[in-house]
Amino acid sequence: MPQDMTCLPPPELPQDLQISVLGPAKIPSDLRCGRFIPDDARIYVYVDPSQVPGGGPNPTLEMAGPRERIYFDPTKTRCAIVTCGGLCPGINDVIRAIVLEAHHNYKVSSVLGIRYGLEGFIEDYGHTPLELTPQTVANIHEFGGTILGSSRGPQSVERIVDFLERRNISCLFVIGGDGTMRAASRIVEEVNARKVKIAVIGIPKTIDNDINFVSQTFGFDTAVGKATGAIRCAHVEALGAPFGIGLVKVMGRESGFIAAQSALALRDVDFVLVPEDPFEIHGERGFLAALTRRLRRRGHAVVVVAEGAGQKHLQATGEKDPSGNVRLGDIAGLLMAEIAAHMKNEGIDHTLKYIDPSYMVRSVPANSNDCIYCGFLGQNAVHAAMAGKTAMVVSKWNGYYVHMPLTLVTQGRKKIDVCSNYWRSVLESTGQHVYFGG
């Protein structure tokens, strides 16, 4: 790997991490389980003063949980849930948790499911909303995907808020990635401009685990579990032939967390190629030379590559998907072709098996850990909305569930710091720094 790796700078935190509210919460809550969380209950984000902009006091985040007084009258409250972007394990679990919490504990009058993402707000598409009850969501956590469907791409914010007003929606729960959270921010701006009282709560979702300041997104744990299964198969295939190579491509457009975490989980991986750590293909310090050294020493190799790795070696497509993401080149296809040509020149009669588990990884039901996580996220999202919180996401930080401003999670993508102990552990697990000559 290159020796001039650049460490990521500390993330910039805004001075004000206060959560917006629609107004004073005056209605006594009927919740009887557990304890209420006061609004002044907060936890530190960082304790290192060097990471605080301007050298001010340590930033803190508001703790999530039920409040003693709520803003909305449950008997008059209508909620809506929308899921956007790509599929991810656990979406149905979040939907189910929101519906069960709203119906059983707050006894809200109605929860509406918006079909097929933001398109569901626009009547021209003809997606009829779905009334969600405890009966309709009873078993949805047993299945992958989303019961509501999803879509990509922007829609008219004005028409979205028109829909919310027309349907008398008080609380909107938006489940999606960073692009979806930016859309939620624009919805908040339009709601504020109209001076209507609608709480907008985000639940961050991305299989890549790349949402800013979110320690771990739901579904990531499940994705890593499925990816390790594919890597285990690649390892068996690599061992089954002289100079066997197993190549596995996993999701990760700009962040290689699935690739890195899967390698740490299994520790049978010899090379992890991620977007954050550029590599050369040719030359003495290139990937092909390193792979050759590995094969000659051990007789087999397992390579895990994130889909966004090595894009500098591919011709830019110039195309974008409906969400505005640049369409990536096929790094796995390039590596297979380069490996075949290089091994022929080296006189190594190799065998290469390629596995791409991407859609299997993202479309499966959530595992037990993610089920629990999704349940807490859904419950705390309802607590926040009923208390009149808005323009925020529910997340987890330092073991606590917290409220984060939408502006915090939309200011950039979370990436692996290649100078961190985490990446060092990956390098030690794979030993790739040895084969690269580092």
The CATH number covering residue 99 comes to 3.40.50.450
Classify residue 399: in a domain, yes or no. Answer: yes
Q: How far apart are CA 299 and CA 297, in angstroms?
A: 6
Q: Who contacts 373 (Cβ-Cβ below 8 Å, separation ≥6)?
A: 90, 216, 218, 221, 396
Contact of 280 with 336, CB cutoff 8 Å: no
* Shared domain check, 387 and 265: no
pLDDT at 56 over 80: no
Q: How many domains does the chain have?
A: 2
pLDDT in tens, 314-349: 987 777 766 667 789 999 999 999 999 999 999 999
DSSP states of 82-99: EE-SS--TTHHHHHHHHH
* Shared domain check, 237 and 212: no
Classify residue 13: in a domain, yes or no. Answer: no
102: containing domain: 20-218+366-409
* Shared domain check, 63 and 203: yes
Place of tokens 């009829």: 128
Please say if 268 is a catalytic residue: no
* Shared domain check, 388 and 358: no
CATH number for the domain that contains residue 299: 3.40.50.460
Classify residue 284: in a domain, yes or no. Answer: yes
- Which one from 93, 178, 208, 277 is the annotated catalytic residue? 208
* Shared domain check, 227 and 322: yes
- How much is the mean pLDDT over the chain? 92
* Shared domain check, 205 and 256: no
Q: Who contacts 264 (Cβ-Cβ below 8 Å, separation ≥6)?
A: 425, 426, 429
pLDDT at residue number 49 = 54
pLDDT tier, 54 (very low <50, low <70, confident <90, very high otherwise): low
- Pair of tokens at residue 26: 């005056």
pLDDT at residue number 315 = 85
Average pLDDT, integer, range 139-157: 94
* Shared domain check, 370 and 359: no
Please report which helix (H) or strand (E) contains residue 192, including its range.
Answer: helix 178-194
pLDDT in tens, 62-84: 999 999 999 999 999 999 999 99
Helix (H, G, I), strand (E, B) or coil at 199: strand
pLDDT at 12 over 70: no
Terminal CA-CA length for the chain: 7
pLDDT tier, 213 (very low <50, low <70, confident <90, very high otherwise): confident
Measured CA to CA in angstroms, residue 125 lies from 129, 150, 153 at distances of: 11, 13, 14
- Report CA torsion sign: 177, 183, 186, 192: negative
* Shared domain check, 327 and 272: yes
pLDDT at residue number 322 = 67
* Shared domain check, 258 and 277: yes
At CB < 8 A and 24+ separation, what contacts does 230-237 make? 230/355, 230/357, 230/360, 230/361, 231/262, 231/263, 231/266, 231/268, 231/269, 231/302, 231/304, 232/266, 232/268, 233/355, 234/302, 234/353, 234/355, 235/266, 235/268, 235/269, 235/302, 237/351, 237/353
* Shared domain check, 235 and 214: no
Classify residue 14: in a domain, yes or no. Answer: no
Please report which helix (H) or strand (E) contains residue 368, including its range.
Answer: helix 368-386
Classify residue 9: in a domain, yes or no. Answer: no
* Shared domain check, 320 and 183: no
Q: Specify the DSSP class assigned to residue 142.
A: G
Classify residue 12: in a domain, yes or no. Answer: no
Helix (H, G, I), strand (E, B) or coil at 294: helix
Q: How far apart are CA 232 and CA 304, in angstroms?
A: 11
Q: How far apart are CA 328 and CA 369, in angstroms?
A: 31
Least confident residue range of 56-60, 199-203, 253-257, 292-296: 56-60
Classify residue 11: in a domain, yes or no. Answer: no
pLDDT tier, 295 (very low <50, low <70, confident <90, very high otherwise): very high
* Shared domain check, 277 and 401: no
pLDDT in tens, 171-193: 999 999 989 999 999 999 999 99
Question: Crossing angle for the helix pair 178-194 and 157-166, nearest 10 degrees?
Answer: 60
Classify residue 414: in a domain, yes or no. Answer: no
